[in-house]
Structure 1
Amino acid sequence: MFQFSNILGAVYHKGDVVFSRDGNCVYSPVGNRISIFDLKNNKSSALAVEGKYNYSILAISPNGNILITVDEMGDAFLISLISGTLVCKHRFKQPVQCLKFSPDGKYFAACKGNSVHLFRVPGQFGKELSGFTAEKVFYGSFDSTTSIDWTSDSRILAVGSKDSLVRLYSIPKLNRFRVCTLSSHTDAIVSVFFEDGTLDINSISCNGRLCIWEANLNLSDLTVAERSEPRLPKRKLVDTHNLADDIDTTRGEERLLNNPKGEENSDPADNETEYLSYKRLARHFLLNRSDKPNLKLTTCSYHKAMRILVSGFSNGSFFIHELPDVNLIHSLSISDVGISKVAFNVTGDWIALGCEDQGQLIVWEWQSETYVMKQQGHSSGISSFSYSGDGRYIVTGGEDGKVKLWNTQTGFCFVTFCDHTSEVSYVKFAPNKKFFASASLDGTVRLNDMTRYRNFRTLTSTRPVQFISLAIDASSEFIAAGGQDVFEIYLWSVKIGKLLEILSGHEGPVVGLDFNPTISSTELTSVSWDKTVRIWNSVESQIQHETIRLNSDGLCVTYRPDGGEIAVATLDGQIAFFNVATSSQTGLIEGRNDLGSGRSDTDLIKAKTSLQGKAFRTICYSADGKYILAGGQSKNICIYSVNESIIVKKFVVTQNLSLDAVGDYIDRRKMTEFGNIALVENREDGFAAVKLPGVRKGDMAIRKTKPEIRVNCIRFSPTGQEWAAVTTEGLLLYSLNDSYVFDPFQLEETITPASILEARAHKNFSTALMMAIRLNDVKLVHTIIESVPPSDIELCVTSLAEVYVKKLFVFISNTFNSTDHVEFYLMWLKALIKTQMFASPSAMLALQKNLKLKYSALSKM
């Protein structure tokens, strides 16, 4: 069955960006999923673990086996990076600002509110079955804690908070240690860092002030205290905001904190013992705020071994300084919006930078000043996408007016087109795989070349029209586009770029267009809000057309791959099937109840009434034409059997409650005596944020809004191995995973692995191969295929029945890209093609795709 495999169209939303322990992978939160970018192999993937809200905190253990993620509501997930599965959960019950593992891997600390919670890490250091075993809780901050750091021996914790103070806590009880408080900042602490192997501290605040602190003791001077020692009297804490800003040592502070009246210390042992204290060596200002008074330091990271500090600012620039002299090494501006997060890899050569507002993720090699990776998703939602003919590439069009090309194998975007000046409403790959077209609300249809990646043709109409639908015929010679404000269909020639015909007749926006996929036909089908489907003979006789009346407004139309049938989605939640030759209805699917209600927080109507307004907005046939995928204003994607008109499978694309209309019910906790709390206006400065009536996307006029979950476009890959859907979160890929499914074929009792290996030992290769195919064990089929001598391949293939030839062809075409025996498997393919017992077109396309991938990999050597 199809399983979630990757997410494209979005590379970073918000939260932490972390490197793996080997420094070759970057972990980035994308909504409620985690994307992994492998910089060494140039591939991206996504963890199958899905949270209930958007992730904001990521942390990887020192051994690289455990990933802890925390969402914006405070739910923590402990994930095993070995198996990629969820181990356990923990609820912090409020947002977590920071989380960090200790260097020895025994503990991790989390900042929650004005406290720091210490937990024991499960695994080799503990015998607990629970993943989150609480050890200690440290209090003392007057405001929310923002950052934490450990000493290299994992015994002392430094905590920075919004009250502009840095506090030190010890994990075991240590001699010559008391809780220290460092106060020299006038703004919230952004980060605090220990120097490697020492107790020296660097602290940096929001206003760009960097303080360098020197400790009077070494790590070896602090020994673990015996438990029999009497406890020190509890100190009385006072607000250190009122202390002088230029206090150079915290020893004087401690004297004030312990004895505010200034009396002499009565404990003689206290006078003899030298406790840990700090002296401020220097104070530096990283930014000049005179020209930009609102400029803020948003994030920073420190590499302890190289003593390099990188700091990101709210204007999109970042600085690299060398400590302790704070020498500026490099400064660069990557965008006009603020940098949300920066991180060093383990060697300190690469810096990862994430920008929340633009959805941008950059890995920068600062020594050579080059980009290791530069990826940016669509800043707004994705409206449409299309597969290339061999399934290698995906083109996406967004509401931001950009068109992006993605590689399905690597998951990276490699070309971005910014020619359109308004929202891109529809994109389509040409069947000849040489170009793709994009239609936009700016009144143009642009054709982009797949060889040189440039816009080589711009098609326009006689008067300005907002194009919302697009179709390319099977010969890639004609392009048709339908209008939203002008109810006409425009037909152009690709070769000469000339407008050939204007097809009139619809009385509403032309929301769906599709050409007959057979080469010999130029038949065009259109659907509109006027409750009609029209079948045009667009080239030969543009006047004659067949009109099919619908029960409701048409929303989408698509052809079956063989061109003999069309499917139409209507506003009443139905999918109707029509025979193209006779224009008669052949089937009907009632799918409204399968969509689910999905109530919004601000809905004034009940779930049953809300369901009556739901409908499928996009439909697509599978590669073999037996099934149809449908999605719309819901989190559900339904797969129906065309012949039996029943639902086969329902996919829930997300469980992210950070989006609107995901739940089927409104939480009772949001219902107050005044009604739904989401409907209560939050007036700030006397003004109410009023939502524009009828607006579903774009500028809502409300600055705090939750995007509504919806499926904008669904497409099946031509290879039949995967399908993808454009949702509010991005482009989700679902691929066929056969590796863990036991699916035997005509199995008998005599067919066992032992009997197959015995047949191979007697050199009965054709018999052994047929038995292995029937058992359908992937490893066993590999073993039998590779044990056949090259001279016996052709003889072995000719002795196979047609059904085995087709299954063997599909098996080899799907596994060709992962093998190192290229010539050997090419001999198999040559022998299989000679039999002229070809498999399905999707298997041929899968073979073509894998051949191109193998060729592109070998051609670089």
Structure 2
Amino acid sequence: MKFAYKFNNLLGAAYKKGNLIFTPDGNSVISPVSNKINVFDLRNNKISTLPIESRFNYVALDLSPNGCTLVAINEEGEAHMISLISQTIVHTYRFKGKVRCVKFSPDGKHFAVCKENNAFVFKAPGQFSGQYNAFVMERVYHTSTDETTCLSWSTDSRLLAVGSKDMSVKVYALDKFANFRIIALRNHTDSIVQCFFEKGSYDLITISKNGQMCVWECNLNLNDLIPWDKAPPRKKQKVEEEVEDNVDELKVIEQTELEITEALKEVSLEVENETKEKVDQKNHFSYKKLDRHYLADEPRKDDREAVLTSADYHIDSKILVTGFSNGSFFIHEMPDVNLVHSLKISNEKITSIAFNGTGDWIALGCSDLGQLLVWEWQSETYILKQQGHANNTSCVSYSNDGEILASGGEDGKVKLWNVNTGLCFITFNEHSSAVTSVAFSGNKKFVVSASVDGTVRAYDVIRYRNFRTFTSPRPVQFACVAVDVSGEFVAAGAQDVFEIYLWSVKTGKLLEVLCGHEGPIGSLDFNPLPTSSTLVSVSWDKTLRIWDAIEKGSAHETIDITSDGICVVFNPNGQEVAVATLDSHIHIFEIKTASQITTIEGRYDLGSGKSDTDLISSKKTLEAKSFTSLCYSADGEYLIAGGQSKNVCIYNVKEKLLVKKFEITQNRSLDAMDDFINRRKLTEFGNLALVEERENREGGPVSIRLPGVRKGDMAARVHKPEVRVFCLEFSPTGQQWAAATTEGILIYSLKVGIVFDPWDLQIGITPAAVRNAVQEEKFMEALTMAMKLNETNLIQESLESIPLKDVELIINTLSIQYVQRLLLILAEALGTSRHVEYYLIWIQCILSIHGPSIKIQKNMPAILALEKVLVRRYQELSKICDHNKYTMQYISRLGEVAQKKSKELTDVQMKDENESDSDNEDLFEVYE
């Protein structure tokens, strides 16, 4: 099995903090999510996460006008210049301070950055500027008395407006102009949120936090600024040159030196007056306030404390959108400030707003909810509506074909995600408290969830409704849930009464209450074999219990374990179980004999991860770490484990070896990332991390949590959560695994072509030899050599060169070991190739000829991958067929209508002709 898993996608977190931006074509939204960046393709309904990662959360980003270069800056002032073509970080620059905003100029030659009370202008590398060195500083402006907040470039990229918390907006020129001076616009009574230049002019719109908007008119047009090198020529220089040329003549007439000096002074005064008159013809750069509007009056009707938090302006259509702290946004038409549209999307503040290029779509982000919306304001419809779990994602579960991922959160919601697109397509809100566990049925028809609100709910995946609610005779808090392989029974364990409850899915009735545990139930699982109904459970009472509740009721077998049981999971072969205990051990037991097979020590693989507020050493912290989630791979040979750490470990069960360890994040904005506390935080007064640093935010949160608080809620002071892995799940296809973490749901998948993994390779087997065999029409030899090289592209090339009439013969000749490997290859090829019928013939021949010889358990990943791609291809082709069918019906209907109209027109013409003939006959009779 390969372990070249790479980070592929981030689900469950659409937006965290920072600003949203659209790509130049307006079809995609770029959203910062913690220390990663998500790209939402609105045309294809797909999410992709850039394969880059920062050491801290991103807070400011902007895209160049050509859409190739992205500048992203994290909260510690580290700027990354990212190429969206190669999706790599090409350069890094440290500002050594917090950065509020970054903005590219419209011509793409420069970009400006706000830091503290300064504004920096850099040359943008690329063909527009002719500069290929990154972060070459061009200008520095530092005249603000407080922190700068926003930037705006004029449409000709010559002027830069900078807003700040000192309630003023200053206008700077990028180059030196003869009739320009720095302007400070001071008429606001609160800090500036945004400022915007109008199109084709230097007129400004400034907006402050208290909702005041000022409109400023500039006295100059775009072409009225006079460059310094093109200013009116000074006559003084010409006169001095003429005087120097005529010195000899002046000497001839015997004028004194004093007279020459006095003549020069008079001429100089005359030239200065003349120059001043010419410059005054073009007035110096200045602004006049035209109007002031109060945009916060409308939202304050519902909330008197509402303040303006974000705004954006589309200069082409002159549409202004403003977002407020109460979750409402308003669209105004400028310059008359007519209210066009208003909507309230939540009760939390809108932290970012952005228009797309055409001005039809508006992207809105709410950082407190992790919500991202794209709203088409003209038709008043949602283009995109995504929201992760408000708090941590506590559990995940794959469907049996790996197409759907279910997640439960501490916000009481259950979400279903499409693994291929990365989008959440349904959210269930029936639970009133935190969801602790989710599980899919074996037939993929429903998913069940357990919650501490005392209910277990079953949701129909096809009709999207809660069709069953399972409850206990007395109120309990459920900590875990499991569904048997047939989908007929549901079992849930309680954490406060130490009992396991068993229900029937068909009737919804409680069948059995399994008693025996003396501590909270940590986890339970059903045997995956269809011939068995065994249920295993572990508890904090240091026991593993094996139940056959369906046949024997409460009768069970007890196995003592070394410490409190946290998690138990069945091997896909149905013969073994793995148990994670509080002492960081993983114990493997055989079910039939109730004997222990092996033990894996994982304490030192987890890592300590000392928190800033911990008062004990990292060595003592390590003793309290343990695995909280386990999952077997599809073939049952490997075990993935994670818990109270940033590390996820994959173990070989038989060899008890650590095969691979993944560090899920490098985000230092999370707590417990390092094994040692930074010495710079330790002072004679204690740890600086324990000092509350309040800021003037809406709601006024602080930077540390309440003492003893581990899990946050909407009112807690948690600002720096600890990194944790709450749940792990292998995809049934074996091609990916998911981790529910503090940052969201991380998807790691096997990427084709990143690892050379040959099989039974020999010296003479090369890509050239494979292609030579194809040319010589030795198709069998070419296919076997390509499979031994294990290069997907080469295998697909050799497969597609085989004539259709030889497919059955080649499959008959192949041995079973080649056939088993070929199944997974065919599944991958079918998902990407256009030759759908060709590969379907291959699959049909393999299953009809070698079907009885294929071992289901060993080839489960390949069979599930085949089912997954067939379902997806069927859906795609169904859409195309339906579209073609309805198009043909429409065209046929148009033809019938056209034919009917033509017939009616012919009838009318014939009627007119008959009437005209009769009139002619009457006239002829009259004439006679």
Q: TM-score range by the shorter chain?
A: over 0.9
After alignment, is 188-197 or 123-132 more displaced?
123-132
1:89 CA displacement: 1.2
The yes-or-no answer on 1:282 pairing with 2:291 is yes
Contact 2:703–2:720 under 8 Å retained in 1: no
Give the Cα separation in 2 of the matches to 1:548 and 1:284.
Answer: 74
CA contact (8 A) 2:572 2:632 kept: yes
Alignment partners' CA distance in 2, 1:822 and 1:281: 66
Alignment of 1:464-543 (within 5 A): 464-543=475-554
The aligned counterpart of 1:253 is none
Q: Does the aligned pair in 2 maintain the 1:565–1:579 contact within 8 Å?
A: yes
Structure whose residues are more often helix by fraction: 2
Listed as ranges, the matches of 1:6-45 within 5 Å are: 6-45=9-48
Superposed counterparts of 1:183-194, under 5 Å: 183-194=186-197
What displacement does 1:439 show? Answer: 0.6
1:631 is aligned to: 642
Provide, for residues 820-839 of structure 1, a one-character-per-residue CA deviation record: whole Å limited to 9, x for no partner: 22111111111121222437
- CA, structure 1 residues 704+389, in 2 after alignment: closer, same or farther (shift >3 Å)? closer
Is 1:353 matched with 2:369? no
SS of residue paired to 2:553? strand
In structure 1, what is the equivalent of residue 317 of structure 2?
A: 306
Q: C-alpha separation between the residues in 1 aligned to 2:514 and 2:305?
A: 56
Separation in structure 1 between the aligned mates of residue 759 and residue 45 of structure 2, nearest angstrom: 37
After superposition, give the CA deviation of every residue in 1:378-431 in whole Å (9 maximum; x if it has no partner). 111111110001000011111111111110001011111111111111110011
C-alpha displacement of 1:126: 5.7
Residues in 1 aligned to 2:108 and 2:295: alpha-carbon distance in whole angstroms:
33
Residue 461 of structure 1: aligned partner: 472
> Number of matched residues?
828
Q: 1:188 to 1:695 in 2, by over 3 A?
A: closer
Deviations 1:240-273 (A, max 9, x none): xxxxxxxxxxxxxxxxxxxxxxxx9x97776555
Say if 2:400 and 2:732, in contact at 8 Å, map to a contact too: yes
The partner residue of 1:95 within 98, 103, 127 is 98
Structure index of larger Rg? 2
Q: Distance in 2 between matches of 1:694 and 1:609?
A: 18
Structure-1 separation of matches of 2:828 and 2:479: 36
Mapping for residues 313-352 of structure 1, pairs under 5 Å = 313-352=324-363
Structure 2 stretches lacking a partner, 5+ long? 235-272, 881-928
Matched with 1:845 is: 864
Once structures 1 and 2 are overlaid, which stretch shifts more, 525-534 or 275-284?
275-284
Corresponding residue for residue 840 of structure 2: 826
Shift of 1:122: 2.0
Q: 1:238 is matched with which residue?
A: none
User: Is contact 1:641–1:647 with CA below 8 Å preserved after alignment?
Assistant: yes
Q: 1:204 aligns with which of 199, 204, 207?
A: 207
**Mapped contact 1:690–1:701 kept (Cα < 8 A):** no
- The answer on whether the counterparts of 2:124 and 2:131 sit within 8 Å (CA) in structure 1 is no
Taking a change above 3 Å as real, the CA distance of residues 704 and 378 of structure 1, as seen in their structure-2 partners, is closer
Q: Secondary structure at the match of 1:433?
A: coil
**CA drift at 1:189:** 1.4
Aligned residue number for residue 766 of structure 1: 780
Note the C-alpha offset of 1:583: 1.0
Confirm whether residue 743 of structure 1 aligns to residue 757 of structure 2.
yes
1:198 is displaced (CA, Å) by 1.6
Partner Cα distance (2:119, 2:58) in 1: 20
Indicate conservation of the 8 Å contact 2:149/2:165, yes or no.
yes
In the alignment, the residues of structure 1 paired with residue 232 and residue 579 of structure 2 have an alpha-carbon distance, to the nearest angstrom, of 82
Cα deviation 1:631-670 (Å, max 9, x = unaligned):
1110001111111101111100111111110111101111
Pick aligned residue for 2:222 from 211, 219, 224: 219
* Aligned-partner SS, 2:761: coil
Please give the alpha-carbon distance, in whole angstroms, between the structure 2 residues aligned to 1:414 and 1:700. 25
SS at match of 1:858: helix
Q: Which residue of 2 aligns with 1:69?
A: 72
- Report if aligned partners of 1:691, 1:701 keep a CA contact under 8 Å in 2: no
Structure 1 residues 207 and 689, CA, compared in 2 at 3 Å: closer, same or farther? closer
Identity %: 55
Decide whether the 8 Å contact of 1:215 with 1:278 is kept in 2: yes
The Cα shift of 1:740 comes to 2.7
Structure 2 CA distance for partners of 1:520 and 1:314, relative to 1, 3 Å: same
Match of 1:695 in 2: 709
- State how far apart, in whole Å, the 2-side matches of 1:704 and 1:534 are: 38
**Does 1:609 pair with 2:620?**
yes
The answer to whether the 8 Å contact 1:691/1:700 transfers is no
Partner of 2:678: 667
Residue 691 of structure 1 and its aligned partner are, at CA, apart by 5.9
Tell whether the 8 Å contact from 2:123 to 2:131 is kept in structure 1 after alignment: no
Shift, 1:512, TM fit: 0.8
Query: What is the RMSD of the two structures over their aligned residues, measured on CA atoms?
Result: 2.3
* Cα deviation 1:160-197 (Å, max 9, x = unaligned): 11122111111111232111222222221111111122
State the shift of 1:282 in Å: 2.1
Distance 2:135 2:62 in 1: 14
> Measured at CA, do residues 323 and 126 of structure 1 come closer, stay the same or move farther in structure 2, by a change above 3 Å?
closer
* Cross-structure match for 1:149: 152
For the residues of structure 1 that align with 2:552 and 2:278, how far apart are their CA atoms? 106
How many Å apart are 1:692 and its aligned residue?
5.2
1:726 equivalent among 736, 740, 745: 740
Looking at structure 1, the residues matched to 695 and 467 of structure 2 have their Cα atoms a distance apart, in angstroms, of: 51
1:274 is matched by which residue type in structure 2? N
Corresponding position of 1:120: 123
* 2:706–2:718 CA contact under 8 A, matched in 1: no
- Cα 1:46–1:585 change in 2 (3 A) is same
TM-score (norm 1): 0.93
**Could you tell me how far apart the structure 2 residues matched to 1:684 and 1:748 are?**
67
AA matched with 1:63: N
CA distance in structure 2 between the aligned counterparts of 1:295 and 1:682, rounded to whole angstroms:
23
Q: Which amino acid in 1 is paired with 2:834? A: D
SS of corresponding position for 2:229:
coil
- Paired residue type of 2:819: V
Q: 1:204 and 1:739, CA in 2 relative to 1: closer, same or farther beyond 3 A? A: same
C-alpha distance in 1 between matches for 2:389 and 2:381: 23
What is the DSSP-based 3-state SS (H/G/I as helix, E as strand, rest coil) of the residue aligned with 1:835? helix
Q: C-alpha separation between the residues in 2 aligned to 1:815 and 1:409?
A: 16
Moved more, 545-554 or 690-699: 690-699
